Amino acid sequence: MGWFFESLYIALVFVCFVYFFVLLQNSKSGWQILDLSASELPFVSIIVPTLEEEVNIRKCLTSLTKLNYPHYEIIVVDGGSKDKTVEIARSYGVNVIVDENLPTGWIGKSYGCHVGYQEAQGEVLLFTDADTKHTPDSLKITVSHLLGSDVVLFSMLPYLEAYNFYEFFPTYLYFLSFLCGGPRDDISNPYNKDSFLASGQYMLFTRKGYEELGGHMAISSSLVEDVALAKLCKEKELGLSFIDGTRLVQTRMYPEGFGQFFRAFRRAIWGGIVTLTPWRIGFMLLWLLYFLFSPYFLIQSFFNQGQYFFWGDYTIGIIVNVGLYLAYAATIHFYFYKRGDMKWWISLFYPITQLVNFVVITVAIIYGIRGKKVSWRGRYYSTQGAETLKEMDKERRIFRGVKHGKKHETLK
């Protein structure tokens, strides 16, 4: 039966790479920059939701205040940090809103974005995370692309900075999200409902388009507000653009330790599974199977000296399995070397990093199936979304068009 499983393994690898190359061949859409003078550029409201972000917020606001964009405002919406986040943000002279209220059925980040939107004056809205760092020309380029490509939402994957070993773990999950989201050309096609992806670290909307979507209120209970908004764009056949492989925005996601990474992706993975297209998730699972079988067959090829391996030749078996192992490593490195700090030797040890990710994915699925709550920054969220649709409708009626004047404090 050995030859049968070996044949299945080869077939699995073949299907994985065919799908990967199809994605690459249909991911050629890029920047569509509209040449605009300073007077033609719209006013932009930059909204940064925060909670316990004293480690990151200074770097973020320093970069945002140095943007070479003619007219914009910065709004920091804090969910009640107990550290120095608010104090640091106030020192930059930006609009700081503190709102510890979290309505039933809302995820903290989405609610912070919603509150920021209600205060915003801009024709264009940028929602970005506190752990991002922006180049001075980034906003001008992205706004010009937003208007030049005639979409309501533009999102991009920031360049991932990594210093500690565990900080390389997300690179593999980003690769899996690429497999699940679909090719960039299909993402840009408003009529292709199967392909959508966005990164909550950088989401740029026209105000009109954001309001037509229903804003963050429309996806208030989603654990992955970025992907949920991208999916909503496709459902309403509105324009969506997603670009990765750029250094315009950089991020170091989990400087506080492995536990921070584990909690973040345990929360996000289940949200992605229930939001993304099922058949694309199927191809992602094939790549996970490839990862599991690759080191197994490689080890087997060295320890089966007295048996034929790979259809009758011990040496060929070793060569084939080494090649398939390296092919996986090369694919990961090829995908990510322009998207983040990816050392080639890290790619070679992918069974270790992928095993950690596999455990995180498994835990996330167990939590989701059992309906257990997940935690982030001291808050607990249901993996089942809002408790009832009636309750969600009630909350939406309460908060639709309301400025929350009695529920938050504005600090300037």
> 405 or 351: whose pLDDT is higher?
351
What is the overall mean pLDDT for the chain?
87
What is the percent of the chain with per-residue pLDDT over 70, rounded to a whole number?
89
The residue type found at 184 is R
33-164+186-257+396-411: CATH, from 3.40.50.2300, 3.30.70.100, 3.90.550.10, 3.40.109.10: 3.90.550.10
Q: Mean pLDDT over residues 20-32, rounded?
A: 92
Per residue in 169-182, pLDDT (tens digit) is: 888 888 999 999 99
Reported confidence tier of residue 306, pLDDT bands at 50, 70, 90? low
Contact 78, 116 (CB under 8 A): no
* Predicted TM-score of the model (pTM): 0.88
More confident position, 249 or 395:
249
| Residue with the larger pLDDT of the pair 377 and 347 | 347
**Residue 391 to residue 12: CA distance in whole angstroms:** 45
**pLDDT per residue as tens digits for the range 74-111:** 999 999 999 999 999 999 999 999 999 899 889 999 99
* Region of poorest pLDDT, from 48-57, 248-257, 300-309: 300-309
Q: Summarize the confidence of residues 120-133 as an average pLDDT.
A: 97
Question: Would you state the structure tokens that stand for residue 154, as one six-digit string?
Answer: 């533009």
Looking at residue 387, its pLDDT comes to: 38
User: Residue 291: how many CA atoms within 13 Å on its side-chain side?
Assistant: 26
In this predicted structure, what is the pLDDT of residue 62?
A: 98
Measured distance CA(49)–CA(119) in Å, rounded:
13
pLDDT reported for residue 375: 64
Do residues 179 and 280 touch, judged by C-beta distance below 8 A? yes
Inter-helix orientation angle 314-336/2-25, to 10°: 30
The tokens describing 61, both together, are 């606001």
The pLDDT, as a whole number, for residue 202 is 97
Q: How many other CB atoms sit within 10 Å of the CB of residue 389?
A: 10
Q: Is the pLDDT confidence value at 344 over 90?
A: no
Distance (Å, whole) CA 396 – CA 230: 20
pLDDT at 312: 61
Boundaries of every domain in the chain: 33-164+186-257+396-411
The amino acid at residue 237 is E
Residue 204 has pLDDT above 90, yes or no: yes
Q: Which residues of 230-263 are buried (b: 16+ CB within 10 A; e: fewer)?
A: bbbbbeeebbbbbbbbbebbbbbbbeeeeeebbb
- Residue in the block written with tokens 């192992």: 325
| pLDDT exceeds 90 at position 162 | no
